[in-house]
Amino acid sequence: MARVLYGGRASLTIGVISAVLCTLIALALALLAGFFRGFSDTLISRTMDLIWAFPVYLLAISLATVLLTTPNGLKLGPITISPSSLWLPTLIIAVIYVPYVFRPLRGQVLSVREKEYVEAAVSQGASNLRLMFSDILPNVISTAIVLLPLMIATTILTEAALSFLSIGVQPPKASWGTVIGDGQDLLYTRPLVAIVPGIFIVLTVLALNVLGDGVRDALDPRAKVRVRD
């Protein structure tokens, strides 16, 4: 039980941080692609399509395998991330899910870009930064907030799968995925070693999906109209 609790801390940390990073990156790229359109939209969208073309888990396994076998880990300028760091699976999971958040946000930006109040701001000489951060971003941020709990649930499942395959959280650290992997050989003698962390994953993902539905209903005006009808 102690290992499950410590593993839950690692799983939730990776899930939340990777989902937040993924949403922020996707939101920034969606603003650039949807607002400027043209070459910027084509370049960013084709890059997202390239990442999208790979199966999620296959891409995650490939990146994790390459980075874990690198002696010095991942180097980002002056920052070095060791293979045993929790930041490594966090960044991998965040990157592979960017296209899944980018597409709906880009569509929302393209829709808001054509609204009358944006055209009115353009006619008044508003700068591009003001249009992006004062007129478009506030109307798109609600979509990102709705997607965030659903992405946290998805990233927790992905982290558990990678850790179960021994390419996520590295020993001596633990996560729910590593605990399930440790209990795989004990299914006939001590089945609770694998069952308990699985139950925790199921309950957490269900709770986050319910939270996502609640946030969507709270922030979606059309949902409020349906409830009143």
**Overall domain count for the chain:** 1
Of 150, 146, 156, the closest CA to residue 200 belongs to 156
Task: List the domain range (segments joined by +) for residue 18.
Answer: 2-222
222: amino acid identity, one letter: R
Q: Which CATH number belongs to the domain containing residue 57 in this structure?
A: 1.10.3720.10
Asked whether residue 133 is domain-assigned, the answer is: yes
Phi, psi at 202, each rounded to 5°? -60, -45
Asked whether residue 228 is domain-assigned, the answer is: no
Q: Answer for the pair 62, 167: CB distance below 8 angstroms, yes or no.
A: no
Q: Please tell me whether the overall predicted TM-score, pTM, comes out greater than 0.75 for this model.
A: yes
Asked whether residue 129 is domain-assigned, the answer is: yes
Q: How confident is the model at residue 226 (pLDDT cuts 50, 70, 90)?
A: very low
- Give me the residues paired with residue 80 across strands: 75
Q: Which tens digits make up the pLDDT trace of 120-136? A: 888 888 788 888 888 88
Asked whether residue 16 is domain-assigned, the answer is: yes
Q: What is the mean pLDDT of the chain?
A: 85
164: amino acid identity, one letter: F
